[in-house]
Amino acid sequence: MQRNVEYCRRKCTLRMWIKRQYWQGGRINEKKVLQVAMSMAMGGAAVGAWAFNVGDVLSFDPGRYDCVIGGTYPICDYDASAVTSGSYFAMDFNGDGKMDLNERTPIAPGPAGGIIIGILQPASGSHSGCPDGSEVAGLDAPWCFFGNTGMHQTVGYPVMDNGDGTLDFSGWGVTWNGIAHIPLGGDSANFPSDTGRALVSCSSTPCVQGEPFTVDYSAHVPNGDPSGFGGITYWLHLERVVAAPSATISLTVGGGAVQECSTAGGSSVAVTAAATVPDGDAVDSIVWSVDGSVVASGASVELFLELGTHVVSAEVQTIGGLSATTATRIVVQDTVAPDVTAAFIDRKHKTRTARVVHRGRVEIQAEADDVCDPDPVIEAIIGAAVEDGDMLRVAKRKGWVSLQAQGLDLTVRASDASGNTATAKAVLNIAE
């Protein structure tokens, strides 16, 4: 018994010293000390069975959304997209024991670059609403779950390598929606399947830092947790793969994704592509399509897009045979009403007038100009204030009307093809 107590005392002291030295910047020494602690714990067994040392960083690939029915993300058929690759966590809301696509939330490494073995990584600043930049993240970047911000963290005990192909996740948890810590280190008393251990799989044995790996872990949210998810199974999947050489392409739309109609029927939109290719390769071509039809080639394109929503896509081909495609949605809209003119024109002087003495001849001006619609619908109405008993003389020939009135009111209303309307008015006073 005495020997066991002494062994525990020596082992625990060494671990505490490791943490203190890391926080003070002594990373090289802590790895050496960890190896000593490992040898003691294994009774002199080979240290090579351990995959990761204190200070090693498990940098995982970000989770990625993809279209699940058809299309190119983010332009997916039926807007159906889900996390199908990379790293993510899931909550088993339907209780089927699977990480269904619609239960996954993608995650990406935080400022620390990922999980640091043997080092506590707290996070703070979770809040209602999605991430806004105010958070203090640790091992992963802030994510949005059920409309609120959260981050993973380790509290009380860091992630450690157990030396048997598993990682100790007993200090694992999240901060979410202002809740400082939701423990996810395992509750074996209430959930026997909770072991607090994450399974690590690597392409070699033992694992080597920087090589491909996967980490899979599950635990239950504690019963009665203030998050409201008590008793639900939490799943974590981290992965890092050695990706094959690939090309990428992104688009920049001059003026943004929503454009105002600038000429008859549509607008001219400039789109530029930026392609990234592996070292030693080069771009061979970039081909542009609008709504599925090829329209141009080159690094940039000037497109005339009619009113409505359009999908603009670009595909890059490299000399080495690589290809990549991306797409963006551009909306051309008309929200500007026609420019309407209402006026009385003096026939003799060809100028606008607002007054006629005794009698005279004036011409009605009812016009409308619209940037997007060259032929807006125009409606002009003449009105006059009359009293009971006033005389109105009508002649069939040429449609002449003689009216006893003190003045005339002209109202001109115009509407364009997009339904925008505008009105203008003019008054003609009639003096004796």
pLDDT digits (tens, 9 = 90+) for 367-400: 999 999 999 999 999 998 888 887 777 776 666 7
CA dist., res. 422 & res. 316, Å (int):
46
Q: pTM value?
A: 0.58
Ranked by mean pLDDT, which of 40-44, 179-183, 393-397, 404-408 comes out on top?
Answer: 179-183
Residue 194's nearest CA partner among 170, 158, 227 is 170
Residue 15 contacts residue 41 (beta carbons within 8 Å) = no
Helix (H) or strand (E) holding 414: strand 407-415
Q: Is 398 helix (H, G, I), strand (E, B) or coil?
A: helix
DSSP per-residue string spanning 95-151? -SSS--GGGEEE--B-TT-SEETTS----B---BBS--S--B-SSB--EEETTEEEE
Confidence of residue 209 (pLDDT cuts 50, 70, 90): low
Q: Is the predicted pLDDT of residue 270 greater than 60, yes or no?
A: yes
Higher pLDDT, 404 or 185: 185
Measured CA distances, 368 to 78, 104, 333, 423 (Å): 40, 54, 19, 10
Q: Is 394 helix (H, G, I), strand (E, B) or coil?
A: strand
Dihedrals phi, psi of 413, to nearest 5 degrees? -125, 135
Mean pLDDT, all residues of the chain:
84
**Packing angle of the helix pair 2-23, 27-41 (nearest 10 deg):** 160
CA dist., res. 94 & res. 100, Å (int):
9
pLDDT tens readout for residues 219-229:
999 999 999 99
pLDDT tens readout for residues 234-253:
999 999 876 667 788 999 99
Between β-strands 258-260 and 323-333, what pairing exists: parallel, antiparallel or unpaired?
Answer: parallel
Please report the beta strands in 16-114, taking only residues with DSSP state E, as ranges in sequence order. 57-58, 64-67, 71-72, 75-76, 81-85, 88-91, 104-106
Dihedrals phi, psi of 6, to nearest 5 degrees? -65, -40
For residue 13, with 0-12 CB atoms within 10 Å meaning exposed, 13-18 middle and 19 or more buried, which class applies?
exposed
Beta bridge partners of 286: 316
Confidence of residue 2 (pLDDT cuts 50, 70, 90): very low
Q: Is 27 left (phi over 0), alpha (psi -120 to 50) or beta?
A: alpha
The pLDDT, as a whole number, for residue 359 is 74
Confidence of residue 39 (pLDDT cuts 50, 70, 90): very low
User: Both tokens of residue 277?
Assistant: 């290719």
Q: Is the predicted pLDDT of residue 406 greater than 50, yes or no?
A: yes
